[in-house]
């Protein structure tokens, strides 16, 4: 029987892959249910893109939704540009999703890779703006539905 899989940010499942070396476990009954069903495919684009853990925090330069374009987006730490690693990670996430025929993703909000409704604005001041991360943008180009952990019920509604 076909069981639809869900790509999920590895940090939401407790993997210590965030920039600060921590995880962000998301405790929700649906997560436990999907885990038990074997639906979840954990992935961290930034680690897959070759970045170390821990790593310096990064933000998308001028991340506002109006300014955003995947081909022009720049990802910067306070000291250097890391766009290539973010794009490599996004491509790896897309390759995995296509190979496993994954149409749905639950990704961590506000991340410069995984954010889907909000990201930090590139000023390292903690200011959030409507926008999305590099991986989310690429997945959406390929019509993969990306939800944040705050929208888990919406994702559940689409699940076959
Ligand atoms: Fe989590 Fe995504 Fe950041 Fe990796 S890139 S730590 S999966 S939010």
pTM: 0.96
pLDDT in the model for residue 69: 79
Spacing, Cα 108 to ligand 1 middle (Å)? 7
Structure tokens at 97: 């999703």
pLDDT in tens, 22-39: 999 999 999 999 999 999
pLDDT in tens, 57-115: 999 997 676 767 788 899 999 999 999 999 999 999 999 999 999 999 999 999 999 99
Give the H/E segment covering residue 75. strand 75-76
d(CA 63, CA 74): 9
Spacing, Cα 67 to ligand 1 middle (Å)? 23
d(CA 75, CA 63): 9
Atom of ligand 1 nearest to the CA of 12: 1
Cβ-contact 70, 134 below 8 angstroms: yes
Question: How large is the average pLDDT for residues 136-143?
Answer: 96
Structure tokens at 81: 């540009």
Question: How large is the average pLDDT for residues 136-155?
Answer: 97
């Amino acid at each position: 029987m076909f069981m639809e899989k869900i790509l999920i940010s590895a940090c939401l499942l407790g993997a210590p892959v965030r920039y600060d070396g921590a995880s962000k476990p998301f405790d929700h009954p649906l997560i436990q249910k999907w885990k038990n069903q074997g639906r979840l495919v954990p992935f961290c684009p930034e680690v897959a893109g070759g970045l170390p853990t821990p790593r310096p925090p990064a933000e998308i330069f001028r991340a506002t939704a109006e300014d955003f374009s995947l081909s022009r987006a720049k990802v910067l730490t306070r000291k250097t540009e890391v766009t290539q690693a973010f794009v490599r990670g996004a491509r790896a996430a897309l390759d995995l999703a296509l190979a496993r025929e994954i149409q749905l993703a639950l990704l961590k909000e506000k991340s410069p890779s995984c954010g889907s409704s909000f990201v930090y604005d590139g000023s390292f001041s903690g200011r959030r703006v409507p926008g999305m991360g590099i991986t989310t943008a690429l997945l959406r180009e390929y019509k993969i539905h990306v939800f944040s952990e705050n929208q888990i019920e919406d994702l559940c509604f689409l699940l076959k």
